[in-house]
Amino acid sequence: MQTRPEADYRSGCHTPSQGGGAAAERRKPRAGRPPQIRGHRPVAPEEGGGVTVALIPGSFDPPTNGHLDVIRRCLAVFGGVVIAVVANPSKTPLFDATERVAMLQRLYESEHVEVESFEGLLVDFARSRDVHVIVKGLRAVSDFEYELQMAQMNESLSGISTLFLPTAPVYG
């Protein structure tokens, strides 16, 4: 591997032997304070930077370990989760929507989780809950192809973003 001679380094760059001087000293994080990212400023709550709540829609008929894994992982990332149980009248479910909501409520008795059923457009439900992020678990590439089209439509209709979370291989 060829190395660049020290004379070729541009201003502001230094080799480890040069130390970096005062500029490097200013870049070191101070104890107790997180390092600053250039161009980043914290967002105040009144500017929309409050707790982010994710909407996780699905049939949950019945709730599976794969569903529960996606919910668990979302709870690790987001400040709260709304589990949206789809009540699709055109399908014959194993459990009705009320039973599916009750099962999920028993599993998640937390102030950070809400479980509700809904009919109609997902973006309308998301707007009614003031949620701006939808999380969809994906099992396979075929899921992505369909869900990408839905995410793009939801974004164009409402400005609501969709995040895709691959399922853990054990549940795929």
pLDDT at 46: 46
Does 44 score more than 80 pLDDT?
A: no
Phi, psi (rounded to 5 degrees) for 75:
-65, -25
Residue 8: band (very low, low, confident or very high) from pLDDT cuts 50, 70, 90: very low
The whole-number average pLDDT for the span 131-143 is 91
Whether 135 shows a pLDDT value over 60: the answer reads yes
Q: CA distances (Å), 57 to each of 49, 73, 102, 152, in order?
A: 23, 15, 15, 16
Q: What is the mean pLDDT of residues 30-41?
A: 52
Strand order in the sheet with 80-86: 113-118, 80-86, 53-58, 133-138, 161-166
Q: Can you tell me the mean pLDDT for 13-30?
A: 52
Handedness of CA 60, 61, 63, 64 (dihedral sign): negative
For position 164, what pLDDT does the model report? Answer: 96
pLDDT confidence band for 148 (50 / 70 / 90): very high
- Residue range 85-122, pLDDT digits in tens: 998 888 889 999 999 999 999 999 888 999 999 999 99
Domains of the chain: 51-166 (3.40.50.620)
